[in-house]
Structure 1
Amino acid sequence: MSDQVKIADAGAAGWIAYSIATWMAWAFLCGFVNDKALIYMAAISLACTIPYLGAAVTQLKLGNLAGGVTWLYFGSFFAFASAINYAIGYFAAIYGWALDARILGYEWAILGIVLILTTPIFAKYSPAAATISVIGADVGIACLALVYFGVNLAALSGWGFFVAGLFGIVMAAGGILEGAGMKFPMGKPLIK
């Protein structure tokens, strides 16, 4: 018997949660849904926390610090904190709560700066689809921070999240198929 335990990578589940989260943000920021969707967005974002954390744990156990930490903070802020914030926004509109959402700009600014600074890791070690997705998230998050600070970049943020989610779907499908020994075109790393 071997003392080593093989671990499967749950990264594909993380990509599914990420794609759902980014496309919900796209729909909301571009006005395809209104604030009545926020309570559903809260519930779905809360559910997204589970695959994000599963992806984080398996990536860390597999020795991928960059991927594991990224999935971990995505689970914490893209999913869990967003779920709470969407619910707060939904009930604030009903009960007339006076809120200062500018504080969220600081959260998204930090997330955007960290993701932008670590994007070269993905460009060097991940498939092209992952890098394109992360660049879309870079744009979406940076613009979202500015939206909370009062700059009207909601549409640009939303479309950045659309790109992120689209290529996240490619990564999700590719990861699942790859786990079954099947090839799926995700592209080679953009930086050699």
Structure 2
Amino acid sequence: MSEKSHSWATPAPAGLVALAMACFTFFALLTGKITPASSGLMGIWLLGGFAVQVIVGIVELKEGNILSGNIFTFFSAFFMLVTGLEFIFKYFASVNGWKIDAHVDGWGWLPLAAAVTLWAPAYLKSPKCLFGVVISLTPALWIISLMDMGVWPHEMAPVAGWLAFSGGTFGVYTSAAVILNTSFGRSVLPMGAPFIKPQPASGPALGSKSA
């Protein structure tokens, strides 16, 4: 990564907007502002989010950003693509009276929640508004997983919904801050200094050349 290391602008703001879209639609569903009858349309919106986030993940990995590259990649696959297709499938299942056992969703969400939880400390080196996205979504993922597994009652759904709304709000703010601060070359929207200040790199960036 020599003179071409900055040939691509970061697509992370687009990925955060896509994440916010998913968070807001989940908020609407989990808090009862929309009914399950809208699940087919919600699935289509999530497929749009997949198209954005998979591009973000690939570009971030290309630029050597191990954390954001990996998290956008698996979010695009499971949070967007799989969930979007599931919502469309469940819509047709409800219309046609198909019998399905959706408890598998909880087991699928479980490692995603665990991964985000275990990776969250790495975001202590990121701006506080980005850390806010992660700290909001982490408990929401656990609630959704445990509800889908049948471990927790569905009365917990509004809690997960409001946490998703919080994460989406932080995501929109962070995306706007990156765009405006970069465009104007100064701090237009404060992002908050990281809890842990990143150390200056003395060698290749982590994730740029691993093997």
Shorter chain as denominator, the TM-score bin is over 0.9
| Match 1:179 to one of 156, 179, 182 | 182
**Which residue in the other structure is 2:18 paired with?**
17
Q: Answer whether contact 1:26 1:162 (CA < 8 A) is retained.
A: yes
Q: Answer whether contact 1:14 1:71 (CA < 8 A) is retained.
A: yes
Letter in 2 for 1:102: H
The Cα RMSD (Å) is 1.4
Find the residue that maps to 1:190 and give its secondary structure: coil
1:84-95 to 2 correspondences below 5 Å: 84-95=85-96
Letter in 1 for 2:142: A
Give CA-to-partner distance per residue, 1:123-152, whole Å, 9 cap, x none.
22x110111111111011000001101212
**Which residue in the other structure is 1:145 paired with?**
145
Letter in 2 for 1:164: G
| Match 1:190 to one of 177, 183, 195 | 195
1:162 corresponds to 2:165: yes
Aligned residues: 190
Based on CA coordinates, which of the two structures has the bigger radius of gyration?
Answer: 2
Gaps of at least 5 residues in structure 1 are none
2:118 and 2:4 map into 1 onto residues whose CA distance is 35
1:3 Cα offset (Å): 5.8
1:3 and 1:20 map into 2 onto residues whose CA distance is 35
Give CA-to-partner distance per residue, 1:60-87, whole Å, 9 cap, x none.
1221111100000010011101110110
Q: Which moved more, 1:167-176 or 1:111-120?
A: 167-176
Q: Answer whether contact 1:131 1:190 (CA < 8 A) is retained.
A: no
Gaps of at least 5 residues in structure 2 are 198-211
1:131 corresponds to 2:131: yes
**Which residue in the other structure is 1:54 paired with?**
55
**Which residue in the other structure is 2:46 paired with?**
45
**Which residue in the other structure is 2:77 paired with?**
76
Find the residue that maps to 1:186 and give its secondary structure: coil
Taking every aligned residue pair, what percent have the same amino acid on both sides? 29
Find the residue that maps to 1:66 and give its secondary structure: helix
Give CA-to-partner distance per residue, 1:88-129, whole Å, 9 cap, x none.
1111110111111110001111100000000000122x1101
1:32 and 1:182 map into 2 onto residues whose CA distance is 39
2:4 and 2:175 map into 1 onto residues whose CA distance is 27
Find the residue that maps to 2:143 and give its secondary structure: helix
1:58 and 1:145 map into 2 onto residues whose CA distance is 29
Q: Answer whether contact 1:55 1:68 (CA < 8 A) is retained.
A: yes
Letter in 2 for 1:187: G
Find the residue that maps to 1:45 and give its secondary structure: helix
